[in-house]
């Protein structure tokens, strides 16, 4: 069963994988440099039903909005830290 701890760990590992990479930066060949980590790909391939079940459970128990806020906050901070165009 996919849990909150699993979800948080996956998000943290994905943000770590793309740390210090700007959302707006592209490589010389025009590709975005942000990418899924091998761990994220593995989790998504191994347990898509578990992830879906976890998300549905947060909707049922009323914690989905809280989960979105937490993920959004982490993502925004990671973006701000990785972007050389933003000053804190």
What range does the domain containing 35 cover? Answer: 4-82
Residue holding tokens 């980590």?
37
pLDDT score for 85? 60
pLDDT at 20: 78
Report yes or no on 87 lying in a domain.
Answer: no
The pLDDT assigned to 46 comes to: 94
pLDDT at residue 70, rounded to an integer:
94
- The structure tokens listed for 33 are 């440099």
> What's the pTM?
0.78
Low-confidence ranges of the chain (pLDDT < 50): 88
Total number of domains constituting the chain: 1
| Residue 6: per-residue pLDDT | 92
The verdict on residue 88 lying in a domain is: no
- CA-based torsion, 75, 39, 56, 48: positive or negative: positive
């Amino acid at each position: 069963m996919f849990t909150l701890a699993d979800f948080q760990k996956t998000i943290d590992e994905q943000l770590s994988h793309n740390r210090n990479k700007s959302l707006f930066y592209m490589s010389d060949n025009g590709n975005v440099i942000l990418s899924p980590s091998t761990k994220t790909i593995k989790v998504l391939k191994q347990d898509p039903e578990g992830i879906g079940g976890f998300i549905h459970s947060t909707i049922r128990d009323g914690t989905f909005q809280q989960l979105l806020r937490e993920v959004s906050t982490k993502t925004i901070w990671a973006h701000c830290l990785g972007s050389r165009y933003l000053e804190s």
